[in-house]
Amino acid sequence: MRVRTTPWFAAVLMVGLVATGCGSSGSKAAPTAAAKAPTTTVSKLTGTVTVSAAASLTEAFGKIGADFHAANPGAETTFNFGSSGALELQIEGGAPADTFASADQDTMAKLQVKNLVDAPVVFARNQLVIVTKAGNPQHVQTLADLANVGTISLCGLTVPCGKYAAQILQTAGVTIPESKVTRGVDVKGTLQAVATGDADVAIVYVTDAKSAGTSVAAVTIPAAQNAVATYPIATLKASGDAAVSDAFIAYVMSARGQATLRSFGFLPPS
């Protein structure tokens, strides 16, 4: 597995038929060679695909990619992580990719309308959380508290995590002057602003806060004020190896793939 950060099922087992022969006149015919040695034909999955995936999937897909390769030694996945919107524009512009995993359905729909992807399937969901500097020095407890802190890091307005943040702030009736906001190109950049001290708080995905560990403190957003991010995945129609892409998607949807996503904090697809 190779990982490229931007700045981009199962194994098929075919069991051969066992041929047995019956003699005439009630006597058994001598076993044929095929009957003596049942044959098993194994179709080995081979090829390399590029998976363009939302930045919030970096850690989870890194593990899934390694596990997928272990199960299919002849198959390789190269990852291109970034903002879903930026990845969608890359794909529209002809950038090489085989699989697309978005942090929202609207971005995937843009490629569907242009007939650039096969039918997508939802494989995970996510929610948002407030993150502060370690120890929560400003004692942030609610979304309302964000109106009274210093610099707030949010994802770009066209980035899924930025759209979700705007949605929950509006739901909570919280207005934050843009002069107090610093925008990240994706959720990783948005979180990093707090981790490095360039911002006091941020709104990011639960999964990213979990991956950051003790470098930040997480403040839960109540379900009534929160948003649910829905993650679809699809094979691109221009894929050079749709079989491997489809197999990777099948692995993501498998019990093992879903367990890995859960371990990184993602919610089930439904």
Does 237 share its domain with 119? yes
Specify if 146 maps to a domain: yes
Q: pLDDT digit string (tens) for 57-78?
A: 999 999 999 999 999 999 999 9
Q: pLDDT digit string (tens) for 141-173?
A: 999 999 999 999 999 999 999 999 999 999 999
pLDDT-derived band at 44 (thresholds 50, 70, 90) equals confident
Does 108 share its domain with 235? yes
- Dump strand ranges (E) for 13-54: 13-15, 40-42, 47-54
Specify if 255 maps to a domain: yes
Does 102 share its domain with 7? yes
DSSP lists the bridge partners of residue 77 as: 49
**Span 87-105, average pLDDT:** 97
Query: Amino acid identity, residue 206?
Result: V
Q: pLDDT digit string (tens) for 118-144?
A: 999 999 999 999 999 999 999 999 999
Specify if 242 maps to a domain: yes
Specify if 21 maps to a domain: no
Specify if 115 maps to a domain: yes
**What is the predicted pLDDT for the residue at 20?**
40
* pTM of the predicted protein model: 0.84
Does 205 share its domain with 255? no
Does 214 share its domain with 202? yes
Does 107 share its domain with 241? yes
Distances (CA, A) of 101 to 12, 80, 105: 23, 10, 10
Does 51 share its domain with 181? no
Strand, coil or helix: 171: helix
Total domains in the chain come to 2
Does 94 share its domain with 69? yes
Does 6 share its domain with 109? yes
Q: Across all residues in the chain, what is the average pLDDT?
A: 88
> Could you tell me which of 270, 254, 255, 246 has the C-alpha nearest to residue 119?
246
Does 208 share its domain with 236? no
Query: Amino acid identity, residue 254?
Result: S
**What is the predicted pLDDT for the residue at 8?**
37
Domain housing 198: 126-220
Specify if 192 maps to a domain: yes
230/103 Cα distance (integer angstroms): 6
Q: pLDDT digit string (tens) for 74-95?
A: 999 999 999 999 999 999 999 9
Specify if 141 maps to a domain: yes
H runs (alpha helix) in 93-212 = 105-113, 160-172, 187-195, 206-212
The DSSP annotation for 109-138 comes to HHHHHTT-B---EEEEEEEEEEEEETT-TT
What CATH number has the domain bearing residue 50?
3.40.190.10
**What is the predicted pLDDT for the residue at 1?**
56
54/56 Cα distance (integer angstroms): 5
Q: pLDDT digit string (tens) for 174-205?
A: 999 999 999 999 999 999 999 999 999 999 99
Does 137 share its domain with 255? no
Does 214 share its domain with 89? no
Q: Is the pLDDT of residue 33 over 90?
A: no
DSSP lists the bridge partners of residue 78 as: 2, 50
Q: pLDDT digit string (tens) for 221-254?
A: 999 999 999 999 999 999 999 999 999 999 999 9
pLDDT-derived band at 22 (thresholds 50, 70, 90) equals very low
Specify if 172 maps to a domain: yes
